[in-house]
Amino acid sequence: MTETALSGLRVVELGGFIPAPYCTKLMADMGAEVIKIEEPGKGDPARRYGPFPKDDPHPERSLLFAYLNTNKQGITLDVKSPLGRKLFKELLRDADVLVESNPPRLMKKLGLDYKSLSGINPRLIVTSITPFGQTGPYPPSGRPAPTGTTRALT
């Protein structure tokens, strides 16, 4: 097998729609092993966005989802449950990178913030993709950042 820029790198993705999946798509396309985690019963929100072949919506046929998730492995895991968090932490023991795009403060609330995870795997790189970062004045209290808000501030 041909060596690529990110061969041998294990990446775990915990985030949906476009930010985390696009970041990890680029990594997978450069040879990283990417493991995508989806919430049981819901899956990635991108599954519900088109385009769909023949305009027939179906979570297994979203072309947006297919594009964002080529070259990845996937599992369903509820990280909000105690068992799900335990399994998630076991998965991260051998990972090199975690890419997450959850609302600010959620990871800390779940005990899955960098400080907690670095105790499990000291060499783990954690990348958080949020519209306004994990701290700061925008948006207050970790509220979602609608597209109009982010556009108005840029």
* 8 Å CB contact between 9 and 97: yes
Residue 55 gets the label, from left (phi > 0), alpha (psi -120 to 50) or beta, of left
**Average of per-residue pLDDT values in the chain:** 91
The pLDDT, as a whole number, for residue 144 is 64
* pTM of the shown model: 0.90
Write out pLDDT tens, residues 93-138.
Answer: 999 999 999 987 889 999 999 999 999 999 999 999 987 777 777 6
10-136+144-152: CATH topology = Rossmann fold (3.40.50)
* Residue spans of the chain under pLDDT 50: none
DSSP per-residue codes, 99-114:
EE-PPTTHHHHTT-SH
Residue 103 has which token pair? 């609302």
Amino acid code (one letter) for 106? L
Q: Taken in order 65, 68, 69, 71, is the CA torsion positive or negative? A: positive
Q: Where are the domains of the chain?
A: 10-136+144-152
* 8 Å CB contact between 21 and 44: yes
